[in-house]
C-alpha cells in the first residue's frame, strides 16, 4: 500500500509548525518519528491532507534538567536516548530500564517520546511508564481569534491526557511540545517488565511500578500502571492503595497483585484469552513490585 496524497510542510521552528496546524483549511497531522503514523498512512487508516514534519525543530529535541531535579523531555527526544543517556538513567532510572522493551533498536532510533505519548496506544510502553512516574505534558498552539499573544500553552497531568484508545486531549491545532518527569525521590524504587510473544512485539501485558519507602520500611507512596491492561493507559489506583501504609511483604505484594489483576480490563485476542492476561498481570505485578521494593532504600 501507498499513502494517500498529502501536502508536506517541513517546519523550521515551533512557530512554523503551530502556524501550519492552525490552518484548518486542510486536515493536518504532525509527523515526528513516523513509526506509527507512516504505517497508518500506508494502510489508509489515517488520511490527512497535510503533514507537518517536526524533525527540523531543534527546540523540541532537548533534554533539560529542571530546578527540582527532574527532567524536561522535548517531544522529539528519540526513544533511543532514554536507553543510553546517563543523565536519564541517573535521574529517572525507570525510563532507562523500560526503553529497551520498546520494539527494536531501529524503531527506537527514529521513534520519539512525544509521538508515542500523543499516539495514546494502550499497548505502548512509554505511556504506562510515564504515568507511573507522575509525568505532565506541555501543549502549545497558535492563538485563536480574540486571544492575546502569539502562542497559547497549557499543562496537563498525563492521567488527564489519555481519553480513549488512540485518543487524547490534544485539539487538532495543538502540539505536544514537552514532557516533565519528576526525578526519583529519596527512598524510591521502580521496576518494569513485560511478556511478549517475541522480543520487539507488542506486549501481551507489561507492568511498571514505583514505590517510596519511609522509616521502618513502610510504603509511603506507590504507583502501578499496565501496558495492554485496558482500553487506555491508566494507573491501577486500587492496587497501589493496597500497598500504601504497610510494609511490602510477600503477602502484601501478592494482595496488591491480585487486586491489579481483578481491576484490570485486558482484552482477549488470538494471542491470549482474558483469563490468561489476568494471570500474567498478577504474576508480573508481583514480580515488578517486589523488585521495586528491593531497590527502594529505607
133 & 209 share domain: no
64 & 150 share domain: yes
| Buried/exposed 102-116: b ≥16 CB within 10 Å, e otherwise | bbeeeebebbbbbbb
106 & 132 share domain: yes
Structure confidence at residue 298 (pLDDT):
62
Q: Which whole number is the average pLDDT over 27-55?
A: 95
What would the pLDDT profile of 89-139 be if each residue is shown by its tens digit? 999 999 999 999 999 999 999 999 999 999 999 999 999 999 999 999 999
pTM: 0.95
Reported confidence tier of residue 150, pLDDT bands at 50, 70, 90: confident
Assess if residue 128 is contained within a domain.
yes
95 & 138 share domain: yes
46 & 64 share domain: no
What would the pLDDT profile of 178-216 be if each residue is shown by its tens digit? 999 999 999 999 999 999 999 899 999 999 999 999 999
Q: Which whole number is the average pLDDT over 59-86?
A: 97
Reported confidence tier of residue 242, pLDDT bands at 50, 70, 90: very high
Q: How many domains does the chain have?
A: 3
Residue 241 DSSP symbol = H
- Is the pLDDT reported for residue 1 higher than 80? no
Reported confidence tier of residue 148, pLDDT bands at 50, 70, 90: confident
90 & 157 share domain: yes
Query: To the nearest 10°, the Cα dihedral for 278, 246, 135, 111?
Result: -40
Q: Cell numbers 543517556 label which residue?
A: 85
Structure confidence at residue 187 (pLDDT):
94
Assess if residue 1 is contained within a domain.
no
Q: How far is CA 21 from the centre of its chain?
A: 23
Structure confidence at residue 145 (pLDDT):
85
Which structural domain range is residue 152 located in?
Answer: 60-181
236 & 266 share domain: yes
Last residue of a domain, one of 165, 181, 197: 181
96 & 119 share domain: yes
129 & 161 share domain: yes
86 & 141 share domain: yes
Radius of gyration, alpha carbons of the chain: 20
Whole-number Cα distances in Å, 153 to 14, 147, 160: 12, 12, 16
Last residue of a domain, one of 157, 181, 205: 181
CATH of the domain at 80: 3.30.465.10
Assess if residue 255 is contained within a domain.
yes
What would the pLDDT profile of 217-237 be if each residue is shown by its tens digit? 999 999 999 999 999 999 999
110 & 172 share domain: yes
Structure confidence at residue 146 (pLDDT):
78
173 & 199 share domain: no
What are residue 168's DSSP bridge partners? 162
Reported confidence tier of residue 2, pLDDT bands at 50, 70, 90: confident
Structure confidence at residue 247 (pLDDT):
96
Q: Which of 30, 11, 57 is closest to 168 using CA atoms?
A: 30
Assess if residue 2 is contained within a domain.
no
Amino acid at each position: 500500500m501507498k499513502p494517500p496524497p498529502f501536502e508536506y510542510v517541513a517546519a523550521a521552528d515551533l512557530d512554523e509548525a503551530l502556524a501550519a496546524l492552525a490552518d484548518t483549511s486542510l486536515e493536518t497531522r504532525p509527523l515526528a518519528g513516523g513509526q506509527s503514523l507512516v504505517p497508518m498512512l500506508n494502510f489508509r487508516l489515517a488520511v490527512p491532507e497535510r503533514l507537518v514534519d517536526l524533525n527540523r525543530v531543534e527546540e523540541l529535541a532537548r533534554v533539560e534538567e529542571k530546578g527540582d531535579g527532574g527532567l524536561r523531555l522535548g517531544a522529539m527526544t528519540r526513544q533511543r536516548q532514554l536507553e543510553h543517556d546517563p543523565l536519564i538513567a541517573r535521574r529517572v532510572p525507570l525510563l532507562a530500564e523500560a526503553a529497551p522493551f520498546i520494539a527494536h533498536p531501529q524503531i527506537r532510533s527514529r521513534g520519539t517520546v512525544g509521538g508515542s505519548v500523543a499516539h495514546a496506544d494502550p499497548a505502548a510502553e512509554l505511556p504506562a511508564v510515564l504515568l507511573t512516574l507522575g509525568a505532565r505534558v506541555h501543549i502549545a498552539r497558535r492563538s485563536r481569534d480574540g486571544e492575546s499573544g502569539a502562542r497559547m500553552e497549557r499543562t496537563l497531568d498525563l492521567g488527564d491526557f489519555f481519553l480513549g484508545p488512540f485518543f487524547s486531549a490534544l485539539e487538532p491545532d495543538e502540539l505536544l511540545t514537552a514532557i516533565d518527569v519528576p526525578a526519583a525521590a529519596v527512598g524510591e524504587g521502580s521496576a518494569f517488565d513485560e511478556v511478549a510473544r517475541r522480543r520487539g512485539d507488542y506486549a501481551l501485558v507489561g507492568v511498571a511500578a514505583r514505590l517510596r519507602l519511609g522509616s521502618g520500611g513502610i510504603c509511603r507512596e506507590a504507583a502501578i500502571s499496565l501496558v495492554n491492561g485496558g482500553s487506555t493507559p491508566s494507573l491501577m489506583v486500587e492496587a497501589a492503595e493496597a500497598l500504601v501504609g504497610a510494609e511490602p511483604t510477600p503477602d502484601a505484594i501478592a494482595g496488591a497483585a491480585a487486586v491489579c489483576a481483578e481491576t484490570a480490563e485486558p482484552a482477549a485476542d488470538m494471542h491470549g484469552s482474558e483469563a490468561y492476561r489476568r494471570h500474567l498481570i498478577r504474576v508480573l505485578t508481583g514480580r515488578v513490585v517486589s523488585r521495586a521494593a528491593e531497590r527502594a532504600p529505607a
